[in-house]
């Protein structure tokens, strides 16, 4: 694959003869043409859209080597193997190589023996590497996962900031930055930080119409997940995301007991265990991977039929990227998420406790708020997701809220009761409690703590006995999501925010999404 001047090769030829595809997809042809002619490009394309070819083909067609910068060291070898399998001369240069191998690749670079070489950002910015590259004939730089350069993004990496040196140091080499997760803000920031002001921008539609988005309330998430698999995805390949390694392990074990071919995947497993899990998922049919979000970056399996989240993702970007791994083949696929009150409490606490600047935490909170708003919306999920990425569409007809429009109900009075209970406890007794105890007080349900603290003497004791515990939890979750209350301290005690004032004073009506089980169990006892 060394198209010298005597064998002119076109992008179309390479697409057909090397990669075995007939047609370019979406913006691919235009992007490839632009970069092959030496132009800079910023490419926003959803996961599975076909970003790799956008730099691989120009790298093959252009004289010199294409240098690909990617943060995913673990996947580089796979990418190199896949390219070599179709006859492309590729290599990677990263910390997994021994000194001998490094020297061989470096020599190959100087001798113009490669079409593509993958590098991690931290290596690229080393003086030694830059000096080496000065002696190499470079056809282009491709900056993959370019959102990592944006601090606004959900996946910021310091090393990426160093990539701005490329513009000044190699002014004649075209650069193409690619990402699947770009809001307006991220897009602007990455363009600026990579000094790509003169680049052409290619923004694909982010819609994945074959993915059905569904977000449901959590009540025994494992069982809900198993029901989904059994009734709709029996024998299908899928990915189940959990927040912690422990939950990954427990969920995988439990699913196996139910007869699902599930494997666990997280950073705490040995390299060989992870490789084996990944291999089975890719090569065998109907394997379900239960994983932390460490799994999936760069994994290309077209027939993943469902992606399930058992814990709330931290941002819409993350959610979109993870769900985007479903249905890359264009056939129907399900993105299913179960979330509950505990998720909100836990994620808020993780942000509060996290290291880093207050600005950073502020950004994390905005990301979570947007994710919660998506969960609690009564509008089309797809409209909300795409609006987040700056795209307007009509309601999609292929998400849970389109298919089963949720009823909303006037929750002003119950919420006033709840807010009063929190205020009374705090003001009259200086006590703060988490959602569980507040709900028991409202429902007049005795427990050890209500006896110990004589909660049954409170005027708010039992004033919410007309609603089930599940309904109350849904109310707490939703007003927590909307910022009417928040949690504090190690145990997630509930406190009011300024937004609670107008509701308590009866100046505002509050409509909430109906919980599916909201049939009121007992007749209201009145106040
Ligand atoms: P992304 O990096 O945008 O997530 P990939 O580059 O991994 O997407 O491509 C996703 C899948 O689509 C891969 O299996 C790839 O081989 C395939 N693909 C890409 N372009 C084309 C095309 N023009 N025709 C057919 N398949 C394609
Ligand atoms: Zn919809």
Q: Which ligand is nearest to the CA of 20?
A: 1
Which residue, 515, 459, 165, 462, is CA-closest to 340? Answer: 515
Sorted by sequence, the CB contacts under 8 Å of residue 40 that are 6+ apart come out as 174, 175, 176, 196, 198, 199, 200
At 73-115, the pLDDT tens digits run 878 888 999 999 999 999 999 888 899 999 999 999 999 999 9
pLDDT of residue 298: 67
CA–centroid distance, 69 to ligand 1, in Å, is 18
pLDDT of residue 307: 98
Given the DSSP bridges, would you call strands 211-217 and 333-339 parallel, antiparallel or unpaired? parallel
Is the pLDDT at 2 greater than 90? The verdict is: no
Residue 45 CB less than 6 A away from ligand 1: yes
At 111-125, the pLDDT tens digits run 999 999 999 999 999
Residue 364 CB less than 6 A away from ligand 1: no
CA–centroid distance, 396 to ligand 2, in Å, is 4
> 6: left (phi > 0), else alpha (psi -120 to 50), else beta?
alpha
- Other CB atoms within a 10 A radius of the CB of residue 175 amount to 25
Which residue, 405, 402, 404, 385, is CA-closest to 393? Answer: 385
Ligand 1: nearest atom to the Cα of 49: 3
523 band by pLDDT with thresholds 50, 70 and 90: very low
Question: How far, in whole angstroms, is CA 321 from its chain's centroid?
Answer: 4
Contact (CB, 8 A) for 133 and 60: no
Please name the residue whose Cα sits nearest to atom 2 of ligand 1.
Answer: 51
Tokens 């052409």 identify what position?
200
Residue 298 CB less than 6 A away from ligand 1: no
Q: Which ligand is nearest to the CA of 379?
A: 2
Which residue, 243, 230, 214, 223, is CA-closest to 336? Answer: 214
CA–centroid distance, 385 to ligand 2, in Å, is 10
Is the pLDDT at 6 greater than 70? The verdict is: no
Residue 146 CB less than 6 A away from ligand 1: no
pLDDT of residue 402: 95
- For the ranges 49-58, 180-189, 257-266, the lowest mean pLDDT is seen at 180-189
Considering the chain, what percentage of its residues have pLDDT values greater than 70? 95
Q: Which ligand is nearest to the CA of 28?
A: 1
Q: How many residues does the chain have?
A: 527
* Mean pLDDT in residue range 133-155: 91
CA–centroid distance, 302 to ligand 1, in Å, is 9
pLDDT of residue 488: 83
7 band by pLDDT with thresholds 50, 70 and 90: low
Which residue, 360, 351, 492, 368, is CA-closest to 433? Answer: 492
515 band by pLDDT with thresholds 50, 70 and 90: low
* Mean pLDDT in residue range 413-439: 93
pLDDT of residue 182: 65
pLDDT of residue 482: 84
Q: Which ligand is nearest to the CA of 380?
A: 2
Residue of higher predicted confidence among 213 and 156 = 213
CA–centroid distance, 185 to ligand 1, in Å, is 26
Residue 21 CB less than 6 A away from ligand 1: yes
Please name the residue whose Cα sits nearest to atom 12 of ligand 1.
Answer: 50
pLDDT of residue 519: 36
Residue 50 CB less than 6 A away from ligand 1: yes
Residue 16 CB less than 6 A away from ligand 1: no
Residue of higher predicted confidence among 167 and 366 = 167
Residue 52 CB less than 6 A away from ligand 1: yes
- For the ranges 120-129, 276-285, 355-364, 458-467, the lowest mean pLDDT is seen at 355-364
pLDDT of residue 385: 94
Is the pLDDT at 54 greater than 70? The verdict is: yes
């Amino acid at each position: 694959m060394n198209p010298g001047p005597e064998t002119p090769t076109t992008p179309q030829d390479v697409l057909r003869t090397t990669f075995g595809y007939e047609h370019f997809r979406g913006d691919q042809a235009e992007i490839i043409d632009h970069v092959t002619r030496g132009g800079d490009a910023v490419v926003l394309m959803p996961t599975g859209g076909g970003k790799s070819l956008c730099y691989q083909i120009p790298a093959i067609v252009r004289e010199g080597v294409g240098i690909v910068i990617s943060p995913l060291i673990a996947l580089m070898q796979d990418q190199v193997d896949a390219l070599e399998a179709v006859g492309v001369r590729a290599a990677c240069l990263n910390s997994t190589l021994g000194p001998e191998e490094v020297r061989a690749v470096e020599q190959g670079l100087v001798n113009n023996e490669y079409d593509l070489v993958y590098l991690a950002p931290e290596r690229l910015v080393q003086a030694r590497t830059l000096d080496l590259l000065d002696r190499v004939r470079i056809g282009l730089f491709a900056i993959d996962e370019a959102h990592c350069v944006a601090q606004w993004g959900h996946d910021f990496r310091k090393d990426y900031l160093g990539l701005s040196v490329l513009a000044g140091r190699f002014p004649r080499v075209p650069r193409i930055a690619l990402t699947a997760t770009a809001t307006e803000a991220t897009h602007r920031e990455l363009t600026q930080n990579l000094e790509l002001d003169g680049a052409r921008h290619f923004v694909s539609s982010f819609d994945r119409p074959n993915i059905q988005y569904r977000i449901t309330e959590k009540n025994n998430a494992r069982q809900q997940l198993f029901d989904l698999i059994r009734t709709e995805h029996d024998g299908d390949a899928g990915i189940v995301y959990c927040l912690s390694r422990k939950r990954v392990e427990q969920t995988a074990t439990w699913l196996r007991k139910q007869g699902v071919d599930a494997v666990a995947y997280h950073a705490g497993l040995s390299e060989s265990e992870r490789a084996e899990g990944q291999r089975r998922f890719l090569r065998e049919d109907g394997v379900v991977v239960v994983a932390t979000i460490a799994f999936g970056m760069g994994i290309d399996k077209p027939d993943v039929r469902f992606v399930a989240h058992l814990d709330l993702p931290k941002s819409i970007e993350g959610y979109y990227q993870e769900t985007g791994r479903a249905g890359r083949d264009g056939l129907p696929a399900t993105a299913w998420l179960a979330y509950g009150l505990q998720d909100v409490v836990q994620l808020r606490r993780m942000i509060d406790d996290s290291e880093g600047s207050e600005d950073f935490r502020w950004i994390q909170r905005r990301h979570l708020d947007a994710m919660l708003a998506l969960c609690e919306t009564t509008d089309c999920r797809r409209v909300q997701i795409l609006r987040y990425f700056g795209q307007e569409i009509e309601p999609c007809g292929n998400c849970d809220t389109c298919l089963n429009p949720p009823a909303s109900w006037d929750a002003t009075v119950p919420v006033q009761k709840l807010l009063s209970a929190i205020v009374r406890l705090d003001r009259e007794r200086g006590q703060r409690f988490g959602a569980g105890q507040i709900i028991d007080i409202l429902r007049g349900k005795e427990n050890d703590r209500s006896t110990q603290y004589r909660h049954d003497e409170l005027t708010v004791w039992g004033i919410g006995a007309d609603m089930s515990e599940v309904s109350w939890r849904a109310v707490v979750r939703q007003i927590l999501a909307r910022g009417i209350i928040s949690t504090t301290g190690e145990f997630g005690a509930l406190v009011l925010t300024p937004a609670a004032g107008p509701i308590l004073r009866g100046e505002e009506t509050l409509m909430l999404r109906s919980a599916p089980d909201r049939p009121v169990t007992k007749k209201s006892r009145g106040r």
